[in-house]
Amino acid sequence: MLNLFSSKPKIRGGVHAEEHKAETAHQPIVKTFPLPKKLYIPLQQHVGKPAEPLIRVGDTVLKGQLLAYSQGMISAPVHAPSSGLIVDVNDYPAPHPSALPIRMIVLETDGKDQWCETTPVDDPFQLMPEDISLRVGAAGIVGLGGAVFPTAVKLNMGRENRIDTLIINGAECEPYLSCDDRLMQENAEHIIDGVRLMLHGMETQYAVVAIEDNKPAAFQAMHAAASAFANIKVMQIPTRYPMGWDRQLIGYVTGREVPVGSRSSEVGVTIHNIGTAYATHNAIRHGKALVSRVVTVSGGAVGKPMNVEVPIGTLMSEVLAFCEVDTDKTARIIMGGPMMGDSLPHSGVPTVKATSGVLALTAAEIRNTQEQPCIRCASCVTVCPAGLRPLDMANHIRVNQLDSAVDIGLKDCISCGCCSYICPSNIPLVHYFKYAAGEVAARQQAQHKSEQTKKLMEARNARLERIAEQQRLDEEARATAKRERERLQAEQTEVA
């Protein structure tokens, strides 16, 4: 029997952020997005190694056709979001705050949007669990809640670690975002089918779908769809940011605490997103690769806020234009939500598998007030869901004591932004932590590179020493042989 936490657990930290969801949550998903003339498809849309191109410039491809294959165990393939012609494989600006170029495949669409031949399965529950993982991996499915970890790897890990509970994250706690909410309202039966397929693929018996209580329509739809399956429970969780954080969600749903430095699988739980379950249904039942996703387009500068299904690789500028954005009012463009999303320098970057939202915010929606001295109110400590001391970490970072910041918990920071949101002095605490995390990672990479270089130099020197020693031995052997020949010749001369 599913062993859920019986008493109401305590929720640590978090904030009640302004939701801004009403503009999009009550509108059906728009599926009439005009097919772009060009799609820019990054080879790195997931955690792990980037995919390796399988096609060449000049190739014609069909929708869903494999464009790049996965490399290594932690990777995911990339497929054509539409039919057309491959016109380039080159570096283009990435959907990242830096907008630095990354390798992309450029597809010029032919307007037909023609699918390649698919391999649907009538009764996937007759498949071996390993086959579920293989098909999910071949479809290029990754975690669509933002983590973008290859789903097939998590399914295999669930099977290997004997996971007893699968949690489906339907919290969607970020302000503005409502794509998962609408997906649950409109595709509840397909999502539940995807959950059942995940359970089969992991050889796990029980699942819990956790939905924040500010989504009553989604809860009702999902509850009705799951009512026929005793091993799938749909439950409401409090509306509080960041309830979607895996450790917070696991603690509330199961009462289990994931130790610091450990994975959720070590306590018998794994988490997948609503969108990932829906993509799993499409991959197994219909043989369709992950080539599009539902994106929330919202913000004060957007004339027609909506949830719209767009092909992966569509430029965000085209998505915003379709939703009638007012560029004069746009003060900031964000991919994802306002708390943990990435602020982009411009909209000329493509949507990817991780793009849950595209926000065009006005100056009034952005808190640009001047930073003031800390008043020692400890609000940042109170709201931190990880139980850290944000101000102390920031103070260490200000004076470049990054090692000290790491010692008091920098690596446990999830960059949720609660501390910055609640701070009455407007101290951009999360900016300090992101900077420090990047700097620590850069230092570790530099140290690793230095250690590797040192090892290579030591190996080279050892090799040269071995070569020199071998040359010395060879010289000695030749000298000995020469002396022996000379001795034999002298003896022969004496005899003669």
134 pLDDT more than 70 = yes
What percent of the chain stands above pLDDT 70? 98
Reported confidence tier of residue 10, pLDDT bands at 50, 70, 90: confident
- For residue 8, what pLDDT is reported? 58
The third-level CATH classification (topology) of the domain covering 294-365 is Ubiquitin-like (UB roll) (3.10.20)
Q: Is 380 annotated as a binding residue?
A: yes
Is the pLDDT at 367 greater than 80? The verdict is no
22-293 and 294-365 in the same fold: no
pLDDT, mean of residues 234-241 = 95
Q: What is d(CA 226, CA 196) in angstroms, rounded to the nearest whole number?
A: 10
Q: What is the pLDDT of residues 306-349, one digit of tens each?
A: 999 999 999 999 999 999 999 999 999 999 999 999 999 999 99
What per-residue confidence (pLDDT) applies to 147? Answer: 84
| Topology given in CATH for the domain delimited by 22-293 | Rossmann fold (3.40.50)
Task: Using alpha carbons only, give the angle 30, 34, 36 rounded to the nearest 5 degrees.
Answer: 130
**Domain parsing of the chain, residue ranges:** 22-293, 294-365, 372-496
Instruction: Sheet containing 52-53: give its strands across.
Output: 52-53, 66-69, 78-79
Mean pLDDT of 384-406: 93
Cα R_g (the chain), whole angstroms: 28
CA distance 314 to 160: 37
d(CA 170, CA 97): 27
Residue-averaged pLDDT of the chain: 93
Bigger pLDDT: 49 vs 10: 49
The answer to the question of whether 323 is labelled as a binding residue is no
Please tell me the predicted confidence (pLDDT) of residue 449: 87
pLDDT, tens digit, for every residue of 265-292? 889 999 999 999 999 999 999 999 999 9
- Edge to edge, the sheet with strand 101-109 lists 38-42, 101-109, 84-93, 60-61
3-state secondary structure at position 321: helix
pLDDT digits (tens, 9 = 90+) for 17-28: 899 999 999 999
Cα distance from N-terminal residue to C-terminal residue, the chain: 104
pLDDT band at 9 (very low <50, low <70, confident <90, very high): low
Range with the lowest mean pLDDT among 85-99, 187-201, 481-495?
Answer: 481-495
Residue 419 is labelled as binding a ligand: yes
Q: Give the span between the Cα atoms of 68 and 53, in whole angstroms.
A: 4
Q: How many helices (H) and strands (E) does the chain have?
A: 14, 16
Please write the tens of the pLDDT for every residue from 69-92.
999 889 999 999 999 999 999 999
DSSP string, 48-98: SSPPEE---TT-EE-BT-EEEE--SSS---EE-SSSEEEEEEEEEE-SSTT
**Rounded distance between C-alpha atoms, residue 153 and residue 141, angstroms:** 10
pTM, rounded to two decimals: 0.88
pLDDT of residue 304: 97
- Poorest-confidence range of 39-53, 163-177, 363-377? 363-377
CA-CA distance, 32 to 84, in Å (whole number)? Answer: 19
Per-residue model confidence as pLDDT tens digits over 414-448: 999 999 999 999 999 998 998 998 888 888 888 88
Question: Mean pLDDT throughout 475-486?
Answer: 89
Mean pLDDT of 242-251: 92
Residue 80: CB atoms within 10 Å: 29
Over range 474-490, report the average pLDDT.
88
Contact by Cβ (8 Å): 107, 84? yes
